[in-house]
Structure 1
Amino acid sequence: MVWISRVCFRKYGNFVDNIRLYVRGGSGGMGLPRLGGHGGNGGDVLVVAKKDITLKQIKDKHPSKRFAAGAGSNSSIQALRGANGEDTQVFAPVGISVTTDNGRILGELNCEGDRLLVAKGGRGGTLHSGFLPSKGQNRHIRLDLKLIADFGLVGFPNAGKSSLLTALSHAKPRIANYPFTTLRPEIGKVMYDDHNQVSVADLPGLIEGAHMNKGMGHKFLKHVERTKQLMFVVDISGFQLASKTPVRSAFETVVLLTKELELYKEELLGKPAILVINKMDLPEAQGHLRELEAHLENQEESSRLFPKDVIPKSLMHFTHIIPVSATTGLGLPLLKSLIRQSLEEQDAIETEGQRHERLLKLRREIPKPTIPNWGFPQPT
């Protein structure tokens, strides 16, 4: 048995996947020249990973988005060594990257309790500094979610992504028979008997030219980066954005989606991907499906029918191809099963790869034995 629950960010307002903060380390305390006293060091600002917290909650709780650590105490006759300033902790979600304003990566927080120093406190005044303290470090930083869901739904507008999410999660996202219904990520969760769960994100619809920031453009593509796997959702009858734009077949839709991902960031094509062929309840769907399957079996030759500038360097190789109807429920039980299977396969591969990396590291760290020289010629 599989049951479905829904996690909707609407109860928190608009979904927030990145936030910009100002952080400042505390200033050091003055030294005491008369007695050689040492001022206290300023406190540090650290970002600490914590479960059950969102970037939206940080934004709401700290509207100024400013975090400053405590200043170190001055040296005095009563306390020649001034007390250090208090550290300030910024609690943030697990799975974020922290960067500076110019894009330099300061670090990532992947597990609960991970800590990252983002603004160091100033040193207290000592004999070496003429008993003058230094100021704390200050900078603007960005917190970006690295992962928003296990699967990201990739498709052109009106491909039925929101309907599919509704069918998978019994949610009620905004659905209409026109493009651009989804303007921000909607996250649904599929729950299994053993309490395992898989998150699926309905992302804003992609359009041709998204890599040049057309439509939702980079906002959409940024979200695609933050999913473990991709789920292409294609209308079996094809796609047409507007009456003056060309009609794209289902196979051409797959090719164009692949090309947009490649032009934005080629590494995205390395993500495992499932192809969901939606709207199989429509008339003539079976005929279109046979045509699509024939093209998918021979992608390289079929893609040559298109202009060179729309053909990706490398075509997508889907782990599973599933025809479904989000309206009637056709194929959805199989899709739910394959969603979990695909993630488990990825986890197994990654675990084996990590085990292999650890083994290689251990081998590199083991010192080579020293062969004593007994007067015999050494091997060359």
Structure 2
Amino acid sequence: MVHCGRVLFRKYGNFIDNVRLFIKGGSGGMGYPRLGGEGGKGGDVWIVAHKKMTLKQLKDKYPQKRFVAEGGANSRISALKGSKGKDYEIPVPVGISITDENGKIIGELNKEGDRILVAEGGLGGKLLTNFLPLKGQRRIIHLDLKLIADVGLVGFPNAGKSSLLSRVSHAKPAIADYAFTTLKPELGKIMYDDFKQISVADLPGLIEGAHMNKGMGHKFLKHIERTRQLLFVVDIGGFQLSSQTKYRTAFETIILLTKELELYKEELQTKPALLAVNKMDLPDAQDKFHELVNQLQNPKDFLHLFDKNMIPERTMEFQHIIPISALTGEGIEELKNYIRRSLDEHANQENEAYHKKQLLNLRISNIASYSEPLSKQTIASSRMDII
């Protein structure tokens, strides 16, 4: 039995999700040619993940955004082997992707304590370098934060995502009757009675063309990559961004959202997904809901209504469709139940797949170790036959 409880809410003020840094490894120490002494290696620069760190804190603490490791010690008569320079560790939040100046990915930090070497210190002077020290590696890197949450809310502006998070958290985010209410990510935590916690990320609303970085485009979509599950939130009454744009029904909204995810990165469509149909307190909502469910069960019967470039290669398959009203609270408890159930089912599937893989590897290993002596025995008997 699933017990639902309260939800904690955290809003990120002055949210920063990317930072550019200059980093340099320490220079090596001088060698001692007459006695063959070697200088110490320069210190290295590491990026280390910390749970309680934010990119804003990093930027505030190090406004110059310049990090240089300590140089290696020179070789001298009292210490022919110079000591290594002290490493520099840069604290960053969990969920950081690190790229170089050319956009090449250096690595990712997905959990507390993860660390990546980003700039090596130079070698100390030795025979190989004619006892002259080498300079440390210097480079420009970019830290890009992609939120890590259990659930990511997906929806066009005014779908009611902020209202939904407000309802389940009893918090009061800025909500108004205009597009782009959410301009920066907000995180909520669902707290269940048995102390289970599920994090939910409410992200800036998508618009058509987001995959081309229109509106909040890539800022939104990159965060979605780092969620375990998607929760589509649509307005049963449909959506219209402005008087200059087309009105979209709830079904059209889902198709367009799916297309935006596909055009940005197809793998996003493979994530487990739920659908919350919001604003069920509106007149005729029940009739529209039944119509929407029929359309989702038989999508091919309605895709002729779309331009070809709007139709996704594959439509989303929702594990559950839950009618809700963030205004009245209708369906909210059921939604919390389904979110937890879906995450638990997905975790069980991942565990099962992992154990199957481990078992397969063990069998392959056993077969290999068994077949080797058998083949030697076969070779030996063959030789005896020849004799």
Structure 1 residue 355 displacement after superposition: 2.3
Q: Which segments of 5 or more consecutive residues in structure 1 lack a partner in the other structure?
A: none
Q: Which segments of 5 or more consecutive residues in structure 2 lack a partner in the other structure?
A: none
Q: Look up the SS of the partner of 2:292 in the other structure.
A: helix
CA deviations over 1:192-251 (Å, ceiling 9, x no partner)? 122221111111111111112221122122222222211111110111111232221111
Instruction: Label 1:360 to 1:122 Cα distance change in 2 as closer, same or farther (>3 A).
Output: farther
Amino acid at match of 2:302: S
Aligned residue in 2 for 1:152 = 152
Aligned residue in 2 for 1:275 = 275
Aligned residue in 2 for 1:56 = 56
Distance 2:18 2:348 in 1: 30
Number of equivalent positions: 376
Aligned residue in 2 for 1:335 = 335
Aligned residue in 1 for 2:322 = 322
Q: Look up the SS of the partner of 1:304 in the other structure.
A: helix
Distance 1:358 1:145 in 2: 32
Structure 1 residue 259 displacement after superposition: 1.0
Aligned residue in 1 for 2:74 = 74
Task: Kindly indicate whether the alpha-carbon contact (under 8 Å) linking 1:25 and 1:122 is maintained by their aligned counterparts in 2.
Answer: yes
Amino acid at match of 1:117: L
Aligned residue in 2 for 1:234 = 234
Distance 2:207 2:323 in 1: 23
CA deviations over 1:245-285 (Å, ceiling 9, x no partner)? 22211111111111111111111111111111000000010
Q: Does 1:223 align with 2:223?
A: yes
Structure 1 residue 311 displacement after superposition: 0.9
Runs of 4+ off more than 6 Å? none
Amino acid at match of 1:69: A
Amino acid at match of 2:73: S
Task: Kindly indicate whether the alpha-carbon contact (under 8 Å) linking 1:32 and 1:39 is maintained by their aligned counterparts in 2.
Answer: yes
Distance 2:31 2:380 in 1: 63
More moved, 88-97 vs 296-305: 88-97
Amino acid at match of 2:197: Q
Instruction: Label 1:20 to 1:351 Cα distance change in 2 as closer, same or farther (>3 A).
Output: farther
Structure 1 residue 52 displacement after superposition: 2.1
Aligned residue in 1 for 2:246 = 246
Distance 1:341 1:55 in 2: 33
Amino acid at match of 1:115: R
Aligned residue in 2 for 1:94 = 94
Q: Look up the SS of the partner of 1:244 in the other structure.
A: coil
Amino acid at match of 2:382: F
Structure 1 residue 86 displacement after superposition: 0.6
Instruction: Label 1:100 to 1:359 Cα distance change in 2 as closer, same or farther (>3 A).
Output: farther
The alignment yields a C-alpha RMSD, in angstroms, of: 1.8
Structure 1 residue 43 displacement after superposition: 0.7
CA deviations over 1:310-357 (Å, ceiling 9, x no partner)? 111100000110000000000000001111111111111122222233
Structure 1 residue 56 displacement after superposition: 2.2
Aligned residue in 2 for 1:105 = 105
Structure 1 residue 377 displacement after superposition: 8.3
Task: Kindly indicate whether the alpha-carbon contact (under 8 Å) linking 1:23 and 1:66 is maintained by their aligned counterparts in 2.
Answer: yes
Structure 1 residue 295 displacement after superposition: 0.6
Distance 2:156 2:269 in 1: 17
Distance 1:264 1:140 in 2: 26
Aligned residue in 2 for 1:8 = 10
Amino acid at match of 1:370: P
Higher helix share: 2
Q: Look up the SS of the partner of 2:381 in the other structure.
A: coil
TM-score (norm 1): 0.94
Amino acid at match of 1:2: C
Instruction: Label 1:377 to 1:208 Cα distance change in 2 as closer, same or farther (>3 A).
Output: farther
Instruction: Label 1:364 to 1:58 Cα distance change in 2 as closer, same or farther (>3 A).
Output: farther
CA deviations over 1:156-196 (Å, ceiling 9, x no partner)? 11111111110111121111111111111111111012222
More moved, 239-248 vs 165-174: 239-248
Distance 2:349 2:53 in 1: 30
Task: Kindly indicate whether the alpha-carbon contact (under 8 Å) linking 2:97 and 2:107 is maintained by their aligned counterparts in 1.
Answer: yes
Structure 1 residue 99 displacement after superposition: 2.0
Aligned residue in 2 for 1:370 = 373
Q: Does 1:181 align with 2:184?
A: no
Q: Look up the SS of the partner of 2:57 in the other structure.
A: helix
Task: Kindly indicate whether the alpha-carbon contact (under 8 Å) linking 2:4 and 2:337 is maintained by their aligned counterparts in 1.
Answer: no
Task: Kindly indicate whether the alpha-carbon contact (under 8 Å) linking 2:146 and 2:226 is maintained by their aligned counterparts in 1.
Answer: yes
Task: Kindly indicate whether the alpha-carbon contact (under 8 Å) linking 2:10 and 2:187 is maintained by their aligned counterparts in 1.
Answer: yes
Task: Kindly indicate whether the alpha-carbon contact (under 8 Å) linking 1:49 and 1:113 is maintained by their aligned counterparts in 2.
Answer: yes
Task: Kindly indicate whether the alpha-carbon contact (under 8 Å) linking 2:150 and 2:200 is maintained by their aligned counterparts in 1.
Answer: yes
Q: Look up the SS of the partner of 2:188 in the other structure.
A: strand
Structure 1 residue 362 displacement after superposition: 4.0
CA deviations over 1:103-132 (Å, ceiling 9, x no partner)? 222222233322211111111001121100
Task: Kindly indicate whether the alpha-carbon contact (under 8 Å) linking 1:191 and 1:198 is maintained by their aligned counterparts in 2.
Answer: yes
Task: Kindly indicate whether the alpha-carbon contact (under 8 Å) linking 1:145 and 1:226 is maintained by their aligned counterparts in 2.
Answer: no
Share of identical aligned residues, percent?
61
Structure 1 residue 364 displacement after superposition: 4.9
CA deviations over 1:79-106 (Å, ceiling 9, x no partner)? 1111110111112233333222222222
Amino acid at match of 1:347: A
Task: Kindly indicate whether the alpha-carbon contact (under 8 Å) linking 1:147 and 1:228 is maintained by their aligned counterparts in 2.
Answer: no
Distance 1:3 1:375 in 2: 72
TM-score (norm 2): 0.92
Amino acid at match of 1:169: S
